[in-house]
Structure formats: C-alpha cells, structure tokens
Structure 1
Amino acid sequence: MGRRSDHTRDELYDLILAAGQAIMAEQGYQRFSARAVAKRIGYSIGTVHNVFGSNDGLVLAINTATFALWTQHLRGALVAAGEDRIRALVEGYFAFAQANPNRWMAIYDHRLPTGMTMPGADAAIRGELTGIVVAEIAAVLGREADESTTALARSLIATVHGHCALTLTGSFALMGEDHPREAALARVRDALSTIGQD
C-alpha cells in the first residue's frame, strides 16, 4: 500500500521527479514508466498521476530537468573555455550527451500527445540552452542577436546534434568517422566563416 500521507504535494513532486530522473538515466525512455517510479518511492501509480497528470507529464518534467542540467553544464564549459568558446560549446554538447545518454536521448524520443501543450515555464527553461548558443554566435559574428542569428543557431545546433546522435548510436563509427566532435566543430566553423564574410 502506498504511503499516501507521508509527504506534502511539493515534497511528492520533488520525490517523484528525482526518482524519475534516476530511472530514466538507468533504463532510458523505451523502458521508462510512471509505475516503476511509483514502485521505487513506495507510492501508488495514482499518486504519481495525481501530481504530474500522466506519464507524459512526468516525462516532460524529467526532460525539462535534463535541459536545466545541460544548460548548467554548457555554462560551466564556457567559464573554462578560454578564447575558443565555439569549441567549448560543441565539446560541451558532446560531453553532456555522452555522460547522460539515456536522459539526453529521452528528450528527443518523447513526443507530447495530441492536445497536450508544453507549459510556458518548461519552454522557458528549455529555451535557455538555445539562448546560450545564440549569444555566442552573435558575439562571433559581431552583431546583435536577432531572428536571423536565432535561426542560424538552431541550424548549427541541428548540425552538432546530428553528429552527436550518430556518435551515440555507433553509426558514425560504422561510416569510418573517427573524430565526430572535430567534424561537427569544423562544420560549425565553416558556416560561421562563410556568414562572417557576407
């Protein structure tokens, strides 16, 4: 039987989220379930759904927490970057994904069901990561961050993401690419160099 009155709602939120993050890191999205989270913390599945609404609500919260952790990681990489901050961003992207493969992949494996929208607070937390990249690209190009800089940042993130995802799945190794981080960095530098000459 679940310990229904042991914690306040806020305490339950933190308890469930922490257990969910741990299980996601251990097992990945495909094997994740709110029921496993409930079992780990000694509560019923109904309690988990009461706090997060559904399995999708819980996964959304876990993925937002992963974004927050990832953003913190990139900020730390930039603090230690020296002058080559673009390299720090690319290497920080890879380093976080490789250190947290299941949590990182869950961000992209999960799809919100039809009719469910992402809360504004979650979107804001997730947007901080892109904001970091936009600011660094604007600095390299010597211009103010605007819509075109944001669009470029998204494309460059997609480039690095593709290299990173193919690395984690082993696909790049099968193609004979032994240095995917350097390849991703080279593509980013090529793009920035070309645009900087415009």
Structure 2
Amino acid sequence: MAEVGFARFSAREVAKRIGYSIGTLYNVFGSYDRFVVALNTRTFGIWARDLEAMLAASGGDRIRCLVESYFAFARTNRNLWLAIYDHHLPDDFVLPDEDHRQRGELTRIVIREIAAVLPAETAPEVPHLARSLVATVHGHCMFDLTGSFALMGEAQPVEMALARVRETLAIASGEGRLG
C-alpha cells in the first residue's frame, strides 16, 4: 500500500510477497475489506505514535504541532494516508471493536490537546469541535496534496489551516465573534 497506493493495491501481490496464497490471506482476514481495514488501522496506530512523539518534542505550541503533524504525516506517508480515505466500506460493514479503539486513539489525542487550551466549561463540546477541526485541517491537507492550493496560488496551506484552527479556538474560548 505504501509503495503503490490504494488504487494500484493488490491483496494478491501482498500474498505473493509474503509467501501465502490469496485464499490463506482471506482466511486470516475474512475478506478484502477486512484486510484493508487492518492495514488502515495499522496506519492509524503509526500516525498516533508519530503525533505523540511530535507533541513530546514540540516545546510549547501544541496546536501548531497538531496541524503541522497532520500535514507531515500525510506528506511523508502519502499513499497510506490516502488509502484511509480512498477505501470505502460497504454500508453494512461493522468495524471490529479493536479496530475502532485503535483508530480512535488519534482523535483522543486531538481532543485532549483541544481541551487543554479551552476553558473547562467548554468540555462537553470539545469532542465535537475537535472532530470539526480535524475535518478543517484534512481539507486543507487534501488540497495541498492534490495540488489544488498550488493551482490557486496558495503557497502556505499549513499556515492557512493553522489560522482557521486558531480562529475557531478563539471563538470557542469566548475571545472572538463569528462573522
């Protein structure tokens, strides 16, 4: 997946490289979707560990670190990052509890960091706000990776995303007004 990306990914090629038959691979995971879910869950784990390491080394501006880390992970692990969003599961697919827990660790880190900069009375809204901020940063990052920002003449997508996050946090903390 890291080498070729989701569009060119082949479970058959993985099975061949590790010396298994495709049937054995599907017996282990149950289906192609469950195999890709396992790979993407692993990516979430790597991403969460990378984020914690970057936060530990950040030295202060942890919100900047969150935004920069998002872009850094996506840029460094482009194919793995894109595979998370390119793989679409069937509507009736149920994510196993362990995968759900592992994938949620990244969001828990963001929630923790957002909660740390907001007043205590905002605590009930922090999870919702954190997920919205992740979506904001994700959109900026996607435009960066696809070249859309470059085509628009925007040269600082990280700074743009950080500005939107800071504006939102200022409003949430009562320092600003929307509009």
Structure-1-length-normalised TM-score: 0.85
Matches within 5 A, 1:99-110: 99-110=76-87
1:134·1:145 contact (CA, 8 Å) conserved in 2?
no
Structure-2-length-normalised TM-score: 0.94
2:69 matches 1:75: no
- Report the equivalent of 2:66: 89
- Looking at structure 2, the residues matched to 196 and 147 of structure 1 have their Cα atoms a distance apart, in angstroms, of 13
- Report the equivalent of 1:115: 92
- Looking at structure 1, the residues matched to 2 and 160 of structure 2 have their Cα atoms a distance apart, in angstroms, of 27
- Looking at structure 2, the residues matched to 41 and 112 of structure 1 have their Cα atoms a distance apart, in angstroms, of 25
Matches within 5 A, 1:16-165: 24-143=1-120, 146-165=123-142
- Looking at structure 1, the residues matched to 156 and 84 of structure 2 have their Cα atoms a distance apart, in angstroms, of 24
Runs of 4+ in 1 over 2 A off after TM superposition: 144-147
SS in 1 for 2:120: coil
1:68·1:126 contact (CA, 8 Å) conserved in 2?
yes
1:63·1:106 contact (CA, 8 Å) conserved in 2?
yes
Q: Which runs of 5+ in 2 are unaligned?
A: none
Deviation for aligned residue 1:146: 4.0
1:64·1:126 contact (CA, 8 Å) conserved in 2?
yes
2:54·2:65 contact (CA, 8 Å) conserved in 1?
yes
SS in 1 for 2:7: helix
Q: Which runs of 5+ in 1 are unaligned?
A: 1-23
Distance change (3 Å), C-alpha of 1:43 and 1:133: same
Distance change (3 Å), C-alpha of 1:88 and 1:110: same
Percent sequence identity over matched residues?
61
- 1:34-90 CA-partner distances (Å, limit 9, x unpaired): 111111112211000000111111100000000000000110111011120000000
RMSD: 1.2
Give the paired residue count.
175
- Looking at structure 1, the residues matched to 121 and 26 of structure 2 have their Cα atoms a distance apart, in angstroms, of 44
- Looking at structure 2, the residues matched to 118 and 144 of structure 1 have their Cα atoms a distance apart, in angstroms, of 33
The residue type paired with residue 54 of structure 2 is A
- Looking at structure 1, the residues matched to 92 and 108 of structure 2 have their Cα atoms a distance apart, in angstroms, of 27
2:161 matches 1:180: no
Deviation for aligned residue 1:101: 0.3
The residue type paired with residue 51 of structure 2 is L
**Larger RCO (CA under 8 A, 6+ residues apart):** 2
The residue type paired with residue 70 of structure 1 is W
